[in-house]
Amino acid sequence: MIGVDLAKRAFQLHGASMTGHVQFRKKLSREQFKRFMADQPPAIVVMEACASANFWARELADLGHEIKLIAPQYVRPFVKRQKNDAADAEAIVIAAQRPEMRFVEPKSEGAQARAVLFRSRARLVRQRTELVNALRAHLYEFGLTVPKGLAQLKRIAAIVEDPESGLLELVREECRDLIDQIAEKTARINARMKRIRAVAAETDTARRLQTMPGVGPLIALAVEAFAPDMGHFRRGRDFAAWLGLVPRQHSSGGKERLGRVSKAGQIDIRRLLIMGAMSRLNWLGRRSVPEGSWLARMLATKPKMLVAIALANKMARAIWAMLTKDAEYRNPALTSA
């Protein structure tokens, strides 16, 4: 087993037998690392799941090695005393030899490409939000208050152009520039969204996922980009737990104590599923909720956000079932009827 502490240029290796006996410790450059691993007989190569891990997993798999990726938080407890590259590489091997250790599935090039598209749109949305907030802040400094939201942009533009607003010409020019930047970001976001819809229409998996209410191209793309093969989960609850959509436990002494959702999993899919669930709970989405159904009973007695998280959990379980059975969505209310 070879533990590799990845970096941009300096790679620290820790080789050990399966019983834990140290075979070698090496610090290699990028080029030396490639040659060294090509000369090695097939081995189990373990790396932390970091930015370049998926690339090196594919490269080393082509050389005949068996690749295992570990989440960094599972490696940290095994670092001895001082933290350095050599200690990290040794901790990776020690963690990987634990029989109960959980590993991360390496991503394919296609999944990474979809992740790049998803992240690009998310970055543009954050930048646009920052610009809108900066514009509102500038107006607020001159006593002009505007509610949050992109929908207020026309109102802001009217205030900027209003000669009675009391803004100096210098401020108007800066506000106009921010409005132009927001328009540019919006055009880029729309272009990315058009591309996302096209990519989501290319695969049968994404098409099936979009048959579920509350699931659109963004969620379908996120599942394809970030979720591992559903065969790695024994049941839908395990997938929901991987997303962090289950309560955090503080149980002890045989007494079960459950708190808020753990938020310990993949943040993008979890956030989008909750947003998709909220879209089903707004005034328009509630029209499709059958009377007497589980969702209707929850809405009658529980806070809206709690219901949304519970619904997101159910959506995650349904996604697992759809992908493991290669089936389209079936409405539970209609099925039970």
327 contacts 321 by C-beta, under 8 angstroms: yes
Distances (CA, A) of 35 to 29, 39, 273: 10, 6, 44
Residue 143 is given by DSSP the state T
Rounded to whole angstroms, how far apart are CA atoms 96 and 132? Answer: 47
Which of these, 128, 239, 250, lies nearest to 188 by C-alpha position?
128
Per-residue pLDDT of the chain (337 residues; tens, 9 = 90+): 999 999 989 999 999 998 889 999 999 999 999 999 999 999 999 999 988 999 999 999 999 999 999 999 999 999 988 899 999 999 999 999 999 999 999 999 999 999 999 999 999 999 999 999 999 999 999 999 999 989 999 999 999 999 988 899 999 999 999 999 999 999 999 999 999 999 999 989 999 999 998 999 999 999 999 999 898 899 999 999 999 998 887 777 878 887 788 778 889 999 999 999 998 888 767 777 777 788 888 888 889 899 999 999 999 999 999 999 988 888 765 554 4
Instruction: Return the structure tokens found at 11.
Output: 């790679």
Instruction: Return the structure tokens found at 223.
Output: 């599942």
Which of these, 63, 83, 57, lies nearest to 4 by C-alpha position?
57
pTM: 0.85
91 contacts 16 by C-beta, under 8 angstroms: no
Q: pLDDT value at position 333?
A: 56
Instruction: Return the structure tokens found at 172.
Output: 């108007």
Which of these, 30, 63, 71, lies nearest to 44 by C-alpha position?
63
The Cβ of residue 273 has, within 10 Å, a number of other Cβ atoms equal to 27
Torsional sign, CA 313, 318, 324, 326 = negative
Q: How many residues does the chain have?
A: 337
Residue 189: alpha-carbon gap to chain centroid: 19
Rounded to whole angstroms, how far apart are CA atoms 207 and 219? Answer: 11
Rounded to whole angstroms, how far apart are CA atoms 144 and 158? Answer: 12
Rounded to whole angstroms, how far apart are CA atoms 266 and 243? Answer: 5
Q: pLDDT value at position 63?
A: 95
Amino acid at 132: V
Distances (CA, A) of 135 to 82, 121, 167, 171, 180: 47, 21, 13, 10, 11
Q: pLDDT value at position 328?
A: 86
